[in-house]
Chain A
Amino acid sequence: KAGVTQTPRYLIKTRGQQVTLSCSPISGHRSVSWYQQTPGQGLQFLFEYFSETQRNKGNFPGRFSGRQFSNSRSEMNVSTLELGDSALYLCASSYRGPTPSGNTIYFGEGSWLTVV
């Protein structure tokens, strides 16, 4: 069973540009979450999507947005990039079922974004 797949793995952008990151969850998983990982702030929750609807959002500015498609694949977008947006962006998926095992959250390997 394939894991969470993120593309691209590495990218370099210039300040002011925008970027779109893609995530394919584990087959059958209906929930996709995004996290930002930096050395200073650690792992921080960005948002979660389930059934194409944003269910929760972390404390990030409106420049960070996302969406989920009917096949559960998700994209996140960051507009007007700032140097501080340089980070590892991690996508995580979960079945989000009613049983405890359905809560298990699996992460992809991330997309490394460098803003110059």
Chain B
Amino acid sequence: QQQVKQSPQSLIVQKGGISIINCAYENTAFDYFPWYQQFPGKGPALLIAIRPDVSEKKEGRFTISFNKSAKQFSLHIMDSQPGDSATYFCAAAIPGAGSYQLTFGKGTKLSVIP
């Protein structure tokens, strides 16, 4: 049973546009929600993360919006650039449980076209 559902599977955005990737989770015990960016041939790199005690976190062009009641969170990439073309994964974890296990969404392949 997939505990983190991510959509869309792929996304094409014009340069300068806004990229939006959505995730939904089922386990209410999750309390740490990171986003990872992965380029071909590379490992996932942490982009931004949020905890459920805040509804939004912004770092540069990247913003996470979090809706605890709906059990949903999303990544917004403002002013998308061709260099942002990569696969993005949302994830969730329960660090307080003593296990640092990340449960990942299936990923979104983002293509930013000039």
Contact = CB atoms under 8 A, between A and B. Distances in A.
Contacts, number: 63
Q: Size class of B's contact patch? A: 20 to 34
Question: In this complex, which of B41, B43, B95, B102 has the most chain A Cβ atoms within 10 angstroms of its Cβ?
Answer: B43
Contact of A45 (B98, B103, B105): B103
Interface stretch (A13-21, A64-72, A75-83, A97-105): A97-105
Given A58-B101, A104-B49, A42 B106 contact: yes
A104 B103 CA distance: 14
B42 A48 contact: no
Interface in A26-48: 31, 33, 35, 42-45, 48
Interface string B9-44: 000000000000000000000001010100001111
B51 interface: yes
Given A104-B46, A105-B102, 12 more contacts: A33-B100, A42-B105, A42-B106, A42-B107, A48-B99, A56-B99, A90-B44, A103-B32, A104-B34, A105-B34, A107-B36, A109-B42
7 interchain residue pairs of minimum CB distance: A107-B43, A56-B99, A43-B104, A103-B95, A109-B43, A42-B106, A107-B44
